[in-house]
Amino acid sequence: MISPRETIEVGVPIEGGELPGFLDLPQQASGLVLFAHGSGSSRFSRRNQAVADLLYRGGIATLLFDLLTPGEHEIDQFTAELRFDIPLLVERLVRAVDWAAVDQRTSQLPIGLFGASTGAAAALGAAAQRPQAVRAVVSRGGRPDLGGEALPEVEQPTLLIVGSLDQQVLEMNRSAARKMRVEPKLEIVSGASHLFEEAGKLEVAALLARDWFLEHF
């Protein structure tokens, strides 16, 4: 039985401050999924919140947190530069993985990473740096091609979800997959565009992600 929803506001410690986040913990959670937002998004992302809600109902704990500080986010809104600073995003996600691995509320849970857009590259980079802590990775409409040298280092089972109408990103995902030593699974959601805005398509992607994490936790 899933416990009554109670979102816990947390702070992921980084040098010089904290990254605010929302932690949701169902009773007897099977694992914890950390969300890596992309393209200037944040913990308030409606799409990632929708995915997190479906994971929660599947008995999976979720952590949605900001990869950028409030000051950095303000700068990025004007310059759009930090959302493509993959090393920075990887570092922030690694900090969150390390935090979750020792926090008493989450330390016993296997960890998965869910990345969207540029956050997918961050998720793969963090997975490469934390092979023992991270169990599985899912990318939705992501840019794994931005993962660069980290791609061949990813050992975890990886699921790449792309909309069939998102041809450019689909080719980027196929290109990235060829560079990975452990071949990822590519799921193409028929009739979905880059943001999965079509009716029911985001739920399809979320269900694929849920099943992937449950299989590999």
What is the percent of the chain with per-residue pLDDT over 70, rounded to a whole number?
Answer: 95
Predicted local confidence at residue 16, as pLDDT: 82
Predicted local confidence at residue 143, as pLDDT: 95
pLDDT in tens, 145-163: 999 999 999 999 999 999 9
**Partner residues linked to 161 by β-bridges:** 140, 187
Confidence band for 1, pLDDT divided at 50, 70 and 90: very low
pTM, two decimals, is 0.94
Does 12 fall in a domain?
yes
Q: How many domains in the chain?
A: 1
When mean pLDDT is compared across 72-76, 103-107, 175-179, 211-215, the lowest value belongs to 72-76
Calculate mean pLDDT across residues 189-193.
Answer: 98
Task: Give CA–CA dist 151/125, Å, rounded.
Answer: 7
Does 187 fall in a domain?
yes
pLDDT in tens, 4-18: 678 999 999 998 889
Task: Give CA–CA dist 45/105, Å, rounded.
Answer: 24
Q: At residue 27, does pLDDT exceed 50?
A: yes
- 150 is in which domain, residue-wise? 7-216
Does 1 fall in a domain?
no
Pick the closest to residue 95 from 152, 13, 160, 39 (CA basis): 13
Task: Give CA–CA dist 103/186, Å, rounded.
Answer: 33
Pick the closest to residue 111 from 83, 133, 128, 78 (CA basis): 133
Confidence band for 39, pLDDT divided at 50, 70 and 90: low
pLDDT in tens, 40-57: 667 878 888 999 999 999
Pick the closest to residue 7 from 88, 78, 48, 63 (CA basis): 63
Does 34 fall in a domain?
yes
Pick the closest to residue 40 from 94, 7, 89, 87 (CA basis): 89
Does 2 fall in a domain?
no
Pick the closest to residue 45 from 29, 69, 21 (CA basis): 21
pLDDT in tens, 113-122: 999 999 999 9
Does 210 fall in a domain?
yes
Tokens of 23: 């932690």
Does 139 fall in a domain?
yes
Calculate mean pLDDT across residues 21-37.
Answer: 95
- Helix, strand and coil content of the chain, in percent to the nearest 5, comes to 40, 25, 35
Handedness of CA 77, 175, 206, 63 (dihedral sign): negative
- CATH at 13: 3.40.50.1820
Confidence band for 173, pLDDT divided at 50, 70 and 90: very high
Does 92 fall in a domain?
yes
